[in-house]
Amino acid sequence: MAGKSDDLTHLNPEGEVHIVNVGEKEDSRRVAIAEGWIEMAPETLERLIAGDLKKGDALSAARIAGLMACKRTWELVPLCHPIALTHASLELTPDRARNAVHCRARTETVERTGVEMEALTAVQVALLTVYDMCKAMDRGMRIDGVQLVHKSGGRSGTWDRDCQPG
Amino acid sequence: MAGKSDDLTHLNPEGEVHIVNVGEKEDSRRVAIAEGWIEMAPETLERLIAGDLKKGDALSAARIAGLMACKRTWELVPLCHPIALTHASLELTPDRARNAVHCRARTETVERTGVEMEALTAVQVALLTVYDMCKAMDRGMRIDGVQLVHKSGGRSGTWDRDCQPG
Amino acid sequence: MAGKSDDLTHLNPEGEVHIVNVGEKEDSRRVAIAEGWIEMAPETLERLIAGDLKKGDALSAARIAGLMACKRTWELVPLCHPIALTHASLELTPDRARNAVHCRARTETVERTGVEMEALTAVQVALLTVYDMCKAMDRGMRIDGVQLVHKSGGRSGTWDRDCQPG
Amino acid sequence: MAGKSDDLTHLNPEGEVHIVNVGEKEDSRRVAIAEGWIEMAPETLERLIAGDLKKGDALSAARIAGLMACKRTWELVPLCHPIALTHASLELTPDRARNAVHCRARTETVERTGVEMEALTAVQVALLTVYDMCKAMDRGMRIDGVQLVHKSGGRSGTWDRDCQPG
Amino acid sequence: MAGKSDDLTHLNPEGEVHIVNVGEKEDSRRVAIAEGWIEMAPETLERLIAGDLKKGDALSAARIAGLMACKRTWELVPLCHPIALTHASLELTPDRARNAVHCRARTETVERTGVEMEALTAVQVALLTVYDMCKAMDRGMRIDGVQLVHKSGGRSGTWDRDCQPG
Amino acid sequence: MAGKSDDLTHLNPEGEVHIVNVGEKEDSRRVAIAEGWIEMAPETLERLIAGDLKKGDALSAARIAGLMACKRTWELVPLCHPIALTHASLELTPDRARNAVHCRARTETVERTGVEMEALTAVQVALLTVYDMCKAMDRGMRIDGVQLVHKSGGRSGTWDRDCQPG
């Protein structure tokens, strides 16, 4: 249930946007994990996998794009704080059962504010890059299920998707 | 079916990535439309709508973030060509039936290469920004159904999602 | 009076520019407030206010532009240190008495160097954005009185414009 | 007088911001000139001039900062079109009579949209850089009179500040 | 011999920097090729090759970094014009005879100004990335022989290193 | 000799790239010095020196470009951590004996990770800028000997090129 402390914190009392004051918060180790899928035609997936087996370049381009983008999250999302990530990793896994590529990103910092947006941005841009690499053969691909999986650290503590009520 | 001309065009004959040569293509008017959703708890959506009715700032921040990001698509997606957009617009519409906010972006240029990636990037970053604005009250939001709706212009002509087979 | 310690500190003994060494300074809470005006024709201001009352989008675009730009001050101003802002806010207020919009920005960090440049950059880019939004009806607008109002924190302590000799 | 054609063109019929469609416009040679001042204490100006006579580095840093920033105008101002400048120049002139440094920037392109924002951005960032170079000795400096001086090209033709009424 | 037409064209008559006016030039197809080496200890090269044979990721990260950087040349080099590349490719080849990795980049555009700086930037950043990937085992690596190999198009015509005297 | 602890640390056990976890490292004062040369025809060097004596602008543009670029190293090099430099300086010295300009950059931070890449990036971009300033008269210039000279701080301690076995 959304109580008063769960307000849209990026709006000030006049309802105007601002970058939330975190100066009073303490540095703490913060981790976030996000995931998402890009669904595609079976033959697109097979071509992608074949390309990957030969050279690894298509998924590797997407992996690097995601890692580079997550460092720039605060340039893209207006009210995100600039943050110095201490770690980022990202996996892209073809999933034949779902006709999709699964992406999972993990970000970490030791700062006053969390890294959920950084993990989500890594996933979004990695999946966009997969789309770009394959769009000449399949314009109908769809990015789906981009969501936070886990966060820990900071005043709000740990959150796990698996532990949420149904 | 994926034939030879449907190859992963960003890989050269050695399977290495490169920025595809479009120098021989002619300038043409090109349009792309993309869409996506962010699903959230009903009370989050109500708070967002209430905030919007009062000041419009939350959705308006997301709209501007999407418009600004689509101009920088080529900085984020490794093999995208730099492009001078001649138009971009973006709508964010709360959808109570789906407990979601719907985003639809339209981009246009008069250049040698298409603007599908720009429209998709606009949607992705606008939805990320909605996530950021609301995450203090709802970490479980999910970005879904990000996809191309329409493209026209260029050698490959017009593509409409609605006209695709099943 | 400008004494020796008031030198142009961005020049080294050979008169060459460098990014001043702040490694020996301690982290401290630092705040800056800056302001400025954009003056315009009375009918432009009325249109802007009318637009604002309907949807808030014009001033809200300027507010977001200012907030986003202040995070990138160190990319724009050659000798500014990269800095992690812990807070930024920005107000834009139509002022019929002066036929102008007033902008006031507040920035804060807990670092080794001050945030005056960040507050001034927020004001400059917010006012540029107002110009951009209104220029089709009024090319004669003028940006005026962009200045520091207050700073605190750091070795040089607190400075207030109001307390300066006339 | 502000008529219908003088509307706030960045708002669509619903009052929402968008990047105006210029796809129908023709490429044309477009020029803009903007100017502005930064006013300072007389001893600050003398130090700046003395530094300049010795090495030229302080004003030269500001000149380069302004030239680099104007190429990135569209990253800073949300609804500006990305544009390929074909020319940019910028002068900074100490003005002892006014206790100020005067800045004048000229930008040019051959595109579908004007370069007024680029010229104004060059002036704004150059003056910010002068502030940064001198702020250790004079926090009270003020940026004033930033305005368009001239524009030509495009459908709206030539505009000169000197030819405006009163 | 350097005659008058060979001047430092980025300086105006007063010796001040500016972005050269290319508005009068015509669009033409322009190509540039640049190359460079990074020399390293033999065991570093063997590790790099072994890593490459297994997964291709180290050199592939460098290749993508070079391609992404060349699109941003005008952000890095103060007086470069913003340019829309129509093609970019980049090869990295281990060279056991020289204990080095060789990099060769090719850039192309159809614009008013050349792409030599873009090709050189691609090489520089790709080699920097190789350094970054290997620096934990070899800090003594050296980047050498970064140079233009070929350019064509534009008023100054074709230039080939192999055809130069001496 | 390269032992196990000297691995390519940017690859995880699966050989995939990631941004190395430095969260467990402690902040420490870290310094890096890098250098490099750009070799040119004797008459190019004389013109550059003459220009420098008159106005200083060509080398001063390169110096500022290098300082600005080193702050953005993490945007260019995919696996570099974002870092807040506390100091950066850069010298460019014409060297008639070698027909070259020598560049030397020094960077410093108080963080969890080193600043070698930042010093090397400063050198690379400063030398690129010299190339850009002079290319109209000399396309054959060559960038050479870009290398780390010194690093200190962090777990791996001090490294000096002069103390390496020949």
What pLDDT score was predicted for residue B52? 57
Chain C hits for B68, Cβ within 8 Å? 68
Q: To the nearest whole angstrom, how far is the Cα of F44 from the nearest Cα of chain E?
A: 7
Q: Closest Cα of chain C to D108: distance in Å?
A: 17
Q: List CB contacts (< 8 A) between E141 and chain F.
A: 147
Does the distance separating the beta carbons of A83 and F82 come in below 8 Å? yes
What rounded mean pLDDT belongs to chain B?
A: 89
Q: Residue A135: is its pLDDT beyond 50?
A: yes
Chain A residues with beta carbon closer than 8 angstroms to that of E61: 60, 64
Q: Do D71 and E82 touch (CB under 8 A)?
A: yes
Outline where E38-134 has alpha helix (H). Answer: 42-54, 57-70, 73-76, 116-134
- CB contact (8 A) between residue A60 and residue E60: yes
Q: What is the pLDDT of residue C6?
A: 44
Sequence length of chain F is 166
Sequence-ordered list of residues with C-beta below 8 angstroms from that of C42, at least 6 positions apart, any chain: C96, C99
Per-residue pLDDT, averaged over D95-111, amounts to 96
CB E147 within 8 A of CB F141: yes
Measure the CA–CA gap between D146 and C131, rounded to whole angstroms.
11
D111 annotated to a ligand binding site = no
Substitution target from E127, E139, E150, E164 for chain F, most F beta carbons within 10 A: E139
Average pLDDT over residues D118-142: 96
Q: What pLDDT, in 10s, does the model give residues E9-46?
A: 777 766 688 999 998 888 889 999 999 999 999 999 99
Q: Is the pLDDT of residue D3 over 80?
A: no
A18 vs chain E: nearest CA distance in angstroms?
28
Selected residues 106-125 of chain D with any CB under 8 Å from a CB in chain E = 108-110
Read off the pLDDT band of F26 (50, 70, 90): confident
Average pLDDT over residues D76-98: 95
Question: Residue B72: its chain E contacts at CB < 8 A?
Answer: none
C-beta atoms of B84 and D81 within 8 A: yes
What is the fold of D27-155? Alpha-Beta Plaits (3.30.70)
pLDDT grade, residue A147 (50/70/90)?
very high
Residue A53: what residue type?
A: L
The DSSP code for D11 is B
Roughly how many angstroms between the first and final C-alpha of chain B, as a whole number?
14
pLDDT, residue C63, reads 95
Query: Which of A154-163, B32-41, B133-142 ranks highest by mean pLDDT?
Result: B32-41
The pair of structure tokens assigned to E110 is 């159809």
Nearest by CB to residue D79, choosing from B67, B83, B110, is B67
pLDDT band at C139 (very low <50, low <70, confident <90, very high): very high
Q: What residue segments make up the domains of chain C, in order of their start?
A: 27-163
> What are the tokens at D8?
């706030």
Mean pLDDT of B48-72: 83
- Residue E81 annotated as part of some ligand binding site: yes
Q: What architecture is the F27-163 domain classified under in CATH? A: 2-Layer Sandwich (3.30)
**Structure tokens that stand for E37 in this block:** 């080496």
Cα nearest neighbour of F29 on chain C: C23
Rounded Cα–Cα distance for residues B52 and D161 (Å): 40
More confident residue, C70 or F11: C70
Q: Where does the pLDDT of residue F132 fall: very low under 50, low under 70, confident under 90, or very high at 90 and above? A: very high
Residue A136 vs residue B65, higher pLDDT? B65
Q: What is the maximum span of chain F, computed from C-alpha positions, in angstroms?
A: 57
Mean pLDDT value across chain C:
89
The minimal CB distance from A58 to the residues B8, B76, B139 is found for B8
The answer, yes or no, to whether residue B2 has pLDDT greater than 80, is: no
pLDDT, tens only, E86-120: 999 999 999 999 999 999 999 999 989 999 999 99
Is the pLDDT assigned to residue D70 strictly greater than 80? yes
Is the model more confident about C100 or about E60? C100
**CB of D88 within 8 Å of any CB in chain E?**
yes
Task: Note the pLDDT of residue D52.
Answer: 57
- How far B58 CA sits from the closest chain C CA (Å)? 10
What is the nearest CA distance from A31 to chain F, expressed in angstroms?
Answer: 11
3-state secondary structure of E153: coil
* Long-range Cβ contacts of E46-53 (<8 Å, 24+ apart): E47/E134, E47/E137, E47/F2, E47/F7, E47/F8, E48/E94, E48/E101, E48/E130, E48/E133, E48/E134, E48/F8, E49/E94, E51/F8, E51/F11, E51/F15, E52/E94
Average confidence score pLDDT of chain A: 89
Residue D26's pLDDT is what? 85
On chain D, the residues whose CB falls within 8 A of the CB of C83 are: none
> Which residue does chain D place closest to B108, by CA atoms?
D23
A132 is catalytic: yes
Which residue is it, tokens 């990103």?
A105
Query: Could you tell me the pLDDT band of residue D16, with boundaries at 50, 70 and 90?
Result: confident
> Residue A56 pLDDT > 60, yes or no?
no
The fraction of chain B above a pLDDT of 90, given in percent, is 70
C105, C70 in Cβ contact below 8 A?
yes
**pLDDT category of residue F166 using cuts at 50, 70 and 90:** low
Instruction: Check pLDDT > 90 for residue D1.
Output: no
Question: Model confidence at E8, in pLDDT bands (50, 70, 90)?
Answer: low
- Interface contact D55-F56, CB threshold 8 A: yes
Integer Cα distance of C137 and C144 in angstroms: 19
CA distance linking residue E42 with residue F91, whole number of Å: 32
The catalytic residue among A27, A57, A132, A160 is A132
Cβ of D76 and C120 within 8 Å? no
Is C99:C163 a contact under the CB 8 Å cutoff? no
- For residue D64, the chain F residue with the least C-alpha distance is F61
Please give the CATH superfamily to which domain E27-154 belongs.
Molybdopterin cofactor biosynthesis C (MoaC) domain (3.30.70.640)
A47 lies within 8 A of chain C by CB: no
pLDDT digits (tens, 9 = 90+) for C76-91: 999 999 999 999 999 9
Q: How many CB pairs under 8 A join B and E?
A: 52
B26-163, CATH topology level: Alpha-Beta Plaits (3.30.70)
Please give the structure tokens belonging to residue C94.
Answer: 């139509």
Q: Does residue A77 have a pLDDT over 90? A: yes
Which helix (DSSP H) or strand (DSSP E) does residue D122 occupy? helix D116-134
Which backbone phi and psi does D100 adopt, to 5 degrees?
Answer: -155, 165
| Contact between A124 and A146 (Cβ < 8 Å) | yes
Residue D110 has pLDDT above 80, yes or no: yes
F57 touches chain E (CB under 8 A): yes
pLDDT at A154 over 50: yes
- When pLDDT is averaged across residues A134-140 and rounded to a whole number, the result is 93
For the beta carbon of residue E121, count every other beta carbon within 10 angstroms. 31
Residue B71 has pLDDT above 80, yes or no: yes
Provide the token pair at D37. 């001042």
Give the CA distances from residue E145 to residues E33, E34, E123, E149, F147, in Å, rounded to whole numbers and listed in that order: 14, 10, 11, 11, 13
Task: Tell me whether B64 touches chain D (CB under 8 Å).
Answer: yes
- Whether F100 has its CB under 8 Å from any CB of chain C: the answer is no
Nearest-CA distance from C49 to chain B in Å?
14
| Rounded Cα–Cα distance for residues A156 and C2 (Å) | 49
In chain B, which ranges are E strands?
A: 28-39, 87-95, 100-111, 142-152, 159-160
- At D121 the pLDDT is 98
* Residue B55 reports pLDDT greater than 70: no
Tell me: pLDDT of B143 over 80. Answer: yes
Instruction: Label residue F104 by pLDDT band (50, 70, 90).
Output: very high
- How far apart, in whole angstroms, are the C-alpha atoms of residue F75 and residue F69? 10
Give the mean model confidence (pLDDT) for residues C57-86: 94
Query: Which has the higher per-residue pLDDT, E3 or A73?
Result: A73
| Band (E7; pLDDT cuts 50, 70, 90) | low
Given E27, E57, E95, E132, which residue is catalytic? E132
Lowest average pLDDT, out of C27-36, D74-83, E15-24, F129-138, goes to: E15-24
Name the residue among E115, D132, B8 with its Cα closest to residue A51. B8
